[in-house]
Structure 1
Amino acid sequence: MNRSSARRPWHQHFETVGSITAIVVGVAALFVSFDQSRVMREEIRASIWPALQVDGFASLENGTLAIGLSVQNAGVGPALVERVTIRHDDSPVEDLDALRALMPPGADLSRTSLTGRVVAAGASVRPFELRYPAEESDDAIDVLNRLLSRWSAEVCYCSTLGQCWVASDDPGAPTMVDSCEGQPGGDF
């Protein structure tokens, strides 16, 4: 080794400056890559976010009063329904037979299973509908208001990425939860 090259300050050694520059550029590239992947994950989550809306309904058409539950996916991705909970006076209702027993007798029942179903973006499902012969005194809005005071419904569902939410018939956005397991639900 030449004595003159050993006495040069570190910044005059091209190899050392080049190595330090490469390390700094590599660390910066790693940070940018990590940040970009985080942003991409958020974009993917937002682009497939299901948003279920849960609503009770009552309608009066052609002498028939229809009462039931409607679940619509107003989001942009599919929703896998894991659990449906119906409550009457704050007590969970186990299944459709128990629900029917709590309603006035004489109804025709139509049913579509919701638990375990994938609800596509923009799709709507009516898990159950009870149809009664209407009386002249029936007003669908009054019937719905009376029912809403004693009944409530919530649906726990997940996205294709495994993120889960609970939507209820209360106004507002769905609430994010860790999972739908271990929470009460009925056979709906």
Structure 2
Amino acid sequence: MENLKWYRNPEMIVALSALFIGLVTAFTSMYSAYVDREYARASVWPKVEIFRSFSGNSFSYRVTNSGTGPALIKYAKVQNGSDYIKSWTEISTFKNIRQSHIGSITLSPQSSSIPVSYEGENAGILAKTDKHISIELCYCSIYEECWVVDRRNQPENVEACTIDDEQRFLQ
């Protein structure tokens, strides 16, 4: 009887082929699961934008989610110059305005919220005050990926939305 080397034995060749096919299948499955997770995250990706609107007798700020998934707004920071404010009425020119809550809402995809608006002859005064106002929002996706955005509308990734209570905008 002839002694075959272990790697020339037909049973060993079949076993090694099965092992190789199993490894390729495992790696293909892991890559496919990775792609599926990335696709799921991208399909619910929020993109929050902040902008001002001013024309004639109308002034407002608008927050829009132009992404594909809901934006869970965790906090808002609003500064007038170097002072953090808790509500719009702390700004002397922002009297007699309509306002809505922005600090902890959920914005659906392709929807907007108007945190402050004014219609009347003093809209120009509000527009002049606007150059001293800074707004920052921190928002997360449903997968708890979080971003901070300000009026430049260039979101920055953050680990989590954390804020000092003295800086938190309450409306």
The TM-score bracket by the shorter chain reads 0.7 to 0.9
Alpha-carbon distance in structure 2 between the residues aligned to 1:108 and 1:180: 32
Offset of residue 130 of structure 1: 4.0
* TM-score with structure 2 setting the length: 0.86
Root-mean-square deviation (CA), in Å? 2.2
Query: Does structure 1 residue 101 correspond to structure 2 residue 90?
Result: yes
Q: Could you say which residue in structure 2 is the equivalent of 1:117?
A: 105
Which whole-Å deviations, capped at 9, do the CAs of 1:63-114 have from their partners, x for residues lacking one?
xx44332100011111011001101113321x11xx3132227x32322212
Q: Could you say which residue in structure 1 is the equivalent of 2:11?
A: 15
Cα–Cα, structure 1 residues 177 and 79, in superposed 2: closer, same or farther, change >3 Å?
same
* TM-score with structure 1 setting the length: 0.79
Q: Which runs of 5+ in 1 are unaligned?
A: none
Tell me how many residue pairs correspond in the alignment: 169
Secondary structure, in 3 states, of the residue corresponding to 1:108? coil
1:7-156 aligned within 5 A: 7-60=3-56, 65-93=57-85, 95-96=86-87, 99-104=88-93, 107-131=95-119, 133-134=120-121, 140=124, 144=127, 146-156=128-138
Q: Which runs of 5+ in 2 are unaligned?
A: none
Alpha-carbon distance in structure 2 between the residues aligned to 1:39 and 1:147: 48
Alpha-carbon distance in structure 1 between the residues aligned to 2:17 and 2:146: 45
Alpha-carbon distance in structure 1 between the residues aligned to 2:103 and 2:133: 19
Q: Could you say which residue in structure 2 is the equivalent of 1:175?
A: 156
Contact kept, 8 Å, 2:93 with 2:126, in 1: the verdict is no
